[in-house]
Amino acid sequence: MGKPTGFIEFSRELPPDRFEEERTLDYLEFHLTLSEEKLQNQAARCMGCGLPFCHTGALIGGMASGCPLNNLIPEWNHLVYNGLWEEALHRLLKTNNFPEFTARVCPAPCEGSCTLAMREEPVTIKQIEYAIIERGFEEGWIQPNPPELRTGKRVAVVGSGPSGLAAADELNKAGHWVTVFERADRVGGLLVYGIPNMKLDKRIVERRAELMTAEGVTFVTRTEVGKDLAASQLLTDFDAVVLCGGATRPRDIRVEGRELSGIHFAVDFLSSDTRSMLDDDIRDAGWVSARHKDVIVIGGGDTGTDCVATSLRHGCNSVVQFEILPELPPRRLPTNPWPEWPRILKLDYGQEEARSTFGKDPRVYCVQTKRFVGDSRGRVQEVHTMRVEVTKDERGGLKFTEIPGSEQRWPAQLVLLAMGFVGPEEMILGQLGVARDARSNVQAEYGKFATSVPGVFSAGDMRRGQSLVVWAIREGRDAASAVDRYLMGAAASL
């Protein structure tokens, strides 16, 4: 415990963000930083709990309570308070391969289960994590550290998203030769093409990929396993295979007018925009513009928020975000007690920017899309909706009942579908003959990660379904341990 009275003396303080009017003109990260003194004061707020919940990573009500990586949060808070930054970095890296990613994009379930959050605002865990890892790079404490000994074993990792990178990093540390196959032109998977640059600067992903390359990991981009390279070839060329291809099939909507042009999956919209930004504003036939358009975003999660923010940067005429669920309460309800993930209303960065631009929160609640209407050239022009009442059925599931007379028409020349993902793609799994579970994900028991095919393992969204980046890293780490045991038996080092 850094300072016994710190949580009494200091209030929660976050650094300011760049002004909305300024940041919507570019794709630069919008979070600023605190001074070292203020960061140490924030670390002093950690209560040094005898039984901390911030790093439990338990699932309560289907959501994470505490950090799934079991980060040693009170320990590195104590070290930061005492000015021992390099030691704090060592403790942080002990459980998290990529704090520079989680400190930017994780929703921080650790803060939701912080003991201080029972009565006060939680410790700024995410901000302190960011400060530790970025200081580590700035001070030169993070340098390539390849393994001294190699086992001679070869492992193929398919997919370079957070689970694939974590598995590759751990397996390389164990001394195995690791090759990561990525079908895109850059390493990072959803970290590059699924998350906009203003949330995660792509130079940060590139920095980590360069470090891993220097440590001995081989990255093969522009190669889709199952298409450019037969999946069976991996079983011939490698001693083990780890499938980390993600859950990349977007959920569609089946209503009248779905075939109209101007209706796109959010992932296609975001990835084409990021590709254009990275390639010096080269806008090919796949690039989708929101400029001078009325935009409807269907879906209320993080991806929907990213679509709102990106549309604003294009210069849209208006943007509305549909959520089928009711608006969340401003504070915890008795049915959502600590240390559960707090299901409360939050204004994310995209909504902040839309409010600044158009004067109001873009979200509308309890809205169900009924049809799309187009013009004579087959281009979407309107979205027709109904309001719904959300209740629970006898089994506890959600029931949506349309409210008579609540029909509404919304102008829209661009509709973005941000309703999540339904599972992994077929090609590589079909070629390998890997068994699936009821949700079409790879069937591989958590903790073992072994598929129905000997020597083939799976981790991340491809195994568990769409989830958080922090869960993907945890799965990649644990799958690497399972692969190491498979390859080395009693000599396993992870």
The per-residue pLDDT for 256 is 98
Mapping DSSP to helix (H, G, I), strand (E, B) and coil, where does residue 14 land?
A: coil
Same domain, residue pair 12 and 23: yes
- Asked if residue 153 has pLDDT above 90, the reply is yes
Residue 344's pLDDT band (cuts 50, 70, 90): very high
Residue 1 lies in a domain: no
d(CA 229, CA 36): 50
CA angle 126, 120, 327 (to 5 degrees): 75
d(CA 370, CA 393): 22
Which of 138, 164, 179 finishes a domain?
A: 138
Same domain, residue pair 126 and 215: no
Same domain, residue pair 211 and 355: no
The per-residue pLDDT for 484 is 98
If you search the block for the tokens 């409807």, which residue do you land on?
296
Residue 144 lies in a domain: no
Residue 263 lies in a domain: yes
The strand ranges marked E within 170-212 are 177-181
Cis peptide leading into residue 339 (ω within 30°): yes
Which of the 8 DSSP states describes residue 118?
A: G
Query: How many C-beta atoms surround the C-beta of residue 284 within 10 A?
Result: 9
Residue 465 lies in a domain: yes
CATH (domain of 103): 1.10.1060.10
Same domain, residue pair 257 and 402: yes
**Host domain of residue 371:** 252-419
The per-residue pLDDT for 48 is 86
Residue 50's pLDDT band (cuts 50, 70, 90): confident
Percent of the chain with pLDDT over 70: 100
Residue 301 lies in a domain: yes
The per-residue pLDDT for 286 is 75
N-to-C CA span, the chain: 30
Strand partners, 411: 382
Residue 109 lies in a domain: yes
- Asked if residue 183 has pLDDT above 90, the reply is yes
Same domain, residue pair 429 and 415: no
Average pLDDT score over residue span 235-262 = 97
Q: Are 370 and 253 in contact (CB under 8 A)?
A: no
Query: How many C-beta atoms surround the C-beta of residue 145 within 10 A?
Result: 11
Same domain, residue pair 407 and 447: no
The per-residue pLDDT for 63 is 87
Residue 209's pLDDT band (cuts 50, 70, 90): very high
Same domain, residue pair 232 and 364: no
Strand partners, 28: none
Same domain, residue pair 133 and 169: no
Same domain, residue pair 185 and 287: no
- Burial of residue 292 (number of CB atoms within 10 Å: 0-12, 13-18, 19+): exposed
Same domain, residue pair 389 and 263: yes
CATH (domain of 320): 3.50.50.60
The per-residue pLDDT for 263 is 98
Which of the 8 DSSP states describes residue 229?
A: B
- Asked if residue 129 has pLDDT above 80, the reply is yes
Segment 480-489, tens digit of pLDDT: 999 999 999 9
Average pLDDT score over residue span 266-290 = 88
Q: Is the dihedral of CA 457, 463, 469, 472 positive or negative?
A: negative
> Please, how many CA atoms are within 13 Å of residue 283, restricted to the half-sphere of its CB?
8
Which of 385, 419, 453 finishes a domain?
A: 419
Mapping DSSP to helix (H, G, I), strand (E, B) and coil, where does residue 156 land?
A: strand
Mapping DSSP to helix (H, G, I), strand (E, B) and coil, where does residue 385 land?
A: strand
Q: Which of 153, 392, 373 is CA-nearest to residue 259?
A: 373
If you search the block for the tokens 């644990």, which residue do you land on?
478
CA distances, 399 to each of 71, 137, 326, 366 (Å): 38, 50, 12, 12
Residue 277 lies in a domain: yes
d(CA 342, CA 471): 18
Q: Are 400 and 324 in contact (CB under 8 A)?
A: yes
- Asked if residue 443 has pLDDT above 90, the reply is yes
Which of 91, 113, 138 finishes a domain?
A: 138
Residues belonging to the chain: 494
pTM check: above 0.85: yes
- Burial of residue 342 (number of CB atoms within 10 Å: 0-12, 13-18, 19+): buried
Same domain, residue pair 257 and 374: yes
- Asked if residue 61 has pLDDT above 90, the reply is no
Same domain, residue pair 122 and 24: yes
- Asked if residue 2 has pLDDT above 90, the reply is no
Residue 148 lies in a domain: no
d(CA 43, CA 34): 12
Task: Enumerate the H helices of 124-189 as residue ranges.
Answer: 125-138, 162-173
Q: Which of 163, 199, 192, 88 is CA-nearest to residue 133?
A: 88
How many domains does the structure of the chain reveal? 3
